[in-house]
Amino acid sequence: MHFKPEEHGLERGFRLTVPQEALLKLLWCLSVSVDGGVIPGVGIDCCVIPLRHGGLSLVQTTDFFYPLVEDPYMMGRIACANVLSDLYAMGITECDNMLMLLSVSQKMNDKDRERVMPLMIRGFRDAAEEGGTSVTGGQTVINPWIIIGGVASVVCQPNEFIMPHGAVPGDVLVLTKPLGTQVAVNAHQWLDQPERWNKIKLVITKEEVKEAYQEAMFSMATLNRTAAGLMHKFQAHAATDVTGFGLLGHANNLAAQQRNEVAFVIHNLPIIAKMAAISKACGNLFNLVQGTSAETSGGLLVCLPREQAAKFCSEMKSQSSGGQGVAGGAWIIGIVEKGDRRARIIDKPRIIEVPPRGSQATNQDNSSISPTPSPNLS
């Protein structure tokens, strides 16, 4: 069931997640040093722990959240893809082991539990197998709400991962999945809520909402493994995955990690078609165009050498066309310039409407999702 803060005496914009700035301050006390240096982990997607055995590092990550789609199997896949994405953001394509974290709702009756939970577990397992790994254990508890997530671990040599701090002025920013998943999921829920549906019905049809929801669901369930492999081929300098803090939040965090004094400037926003219009119709409830709308299992934001960016996008699109459909690919969205280790979106960014796979717009014209740089980046 969708959580409505107003029904619990909370402000409409209330979020249970800790604000990004406060979270980083809380976590900094966990920083530890080895040979005079801080072990990477706090503020980036994974912890990287040098092992006693020479030249090897343990790279590890964990994540979990509440269900956000109606299909239990797809929810399991999304949860697994979201956990693995942290490894992929460091250019790691292999995972040695996964654990599953699962909370079964005490409010479910026996019949529902016996039907829903196995589907969720199977979705998680199938996505893990698609990623070339397996689930070997985990933890299951009883809780008021369903929660699903996991832990991903891999032992790596230095050439198998890319630390997220090498961006240089002149690099190009690339995003590998469209934005707007939170908006699409909420709009789908509003189909059965006349008061909310009336606010957006002038900018989108019910059929378009259903198509956008399906696109968001399949996008979230898609592994970022292909992009991780191409990061090595095209000499990526840094990357992160776009999730709960939105594009701008994660771009800011990545910019803050850079060794060089750089800034990220975002010119283009690839968004699932009509989701920007919905956000505007709701009075910018989601702050989608402002870059702070939460995403789940979003794409990778990658810093690439200028001469490699278009090639990266082209190969992402060609490799995605088989499994991901027309909506698969990557988009050049900005540049890296000298600056104060922050990110910003220009005042009037170009909105790239990404049509859902199978939609009439997709079948008529695929040119709208071309990875060609915008005039701002030429």
CA 136 to chain centre: 25
Compute the distance between CA of residue 225 and CA of residue 222 in angstroms, rounded to an integer: 9
Q: Name 212's Cβ contacts closer than 8 Å, sequence gap at least 6.
A: 180, 184, 187, 188, 204, 272, 273, 274, 275, 356
User: Residue 53: its pLDDT value, please?
Assistant: 82
Cβ(300)–Cβ(240) below 8 Å: yes
Does this chain's domain 38-156 share its CATH topology with 171-354? no
Tokens representing 135 are: 């689930």
- Greatest extent of the chain over all pairs of C-alpha atoms, in Å: 62
CA distance 360 to 45: 37
pTM greater than the 0.75 cutoff: yes
Counts for the chain of helices (H) and strands (E), in that order: 11, 13
CATH architecture of 38-156: 2-Layer Sandwich (3.30)
User: Left, alpha or beta for 313 (phi > 0: left; psi -120 to 50: alpha)?
Assistant: alpha
pLDDT value of residue 44:
73
d(C-alpha 254, C-alpha 165), whole Å = 8
Q: What is the pLDDT of residue 139?
A: 94
pLDDT at 323: 44
Please tell me whether residue 253 adopts helix, strand or coil conformation.
Answer: helix
Residues paired with 264 in a beta bridge: 336, 343
Q: Which CATH superfamily is domain 171-354 in?
A: PurM-like C-terminal domain (3.90.650.10)
- Tell me the C-alpha distance between 150 and 277, whole Å: 34
Instruction: Please enumerate in sequence order all residues whose Cβ is within 8 A of that of 159, keeping only pairs 6 or more positions apart, or say none.
Output: none
Contacts of 274-278 with C-beta under 8 Å, sequence gap 24+, read 274/203, 274/204, 274/208, 274/212, 274/353, 275/179, 275/180, 275/183, 275/184, 275/187, 275/212, 276/180, 276/351, 276/353, 277/203, 277/204, 278/183, 278/187, 278/200, 278/203, 278/204
What is the distance of C-alpha 187 from the center of its chain? 19
From first to last of its 378 residues, the chain has per-residue pLDDT tens of: 455 556 666 665 555 555 555 555 555 555 555 454 445 545 577 899 999 888 899 999 999 989 999 999 999 999 999 999 999 999 999 999 999 999 999 999 999 999 999 999 999 999 999 999 999 999 999 999 999 999 999 999 999 999 999 999 999 999 999 999 999 999 999 999 999 999 999 999 999 999 999 999 999 999 999 999 999 999 999 999 999 999 999 999 999 999 999 999 999 999 999 999 999 999 999 999 999 999 999 999 999 999 999 999 999 999 876 544 445 689 999 999 999 999 999 999 999 999 998 766 554 433 333 334 443 443
What is the SS3 assignment for 84?
helix
Nearest alpha carbon to residue 76 among 2, 183, 149, 152? 149
3-state secondary structure of 288: coil
Q: How far apart are CA 32 and CA 201, in angstroms?
A: 52
Q: Contact, 299 vs 177, CB < 8 A?
A: yes
Domain boundaries, the chain: 38-156, 171-354
Report pLDDT for 319: 87
Which DSSP string do the residues of 185-213 spell out, in sequence order?
Answer: HHHHHGGG-HHHHHHHTTT--HHHHHHHH
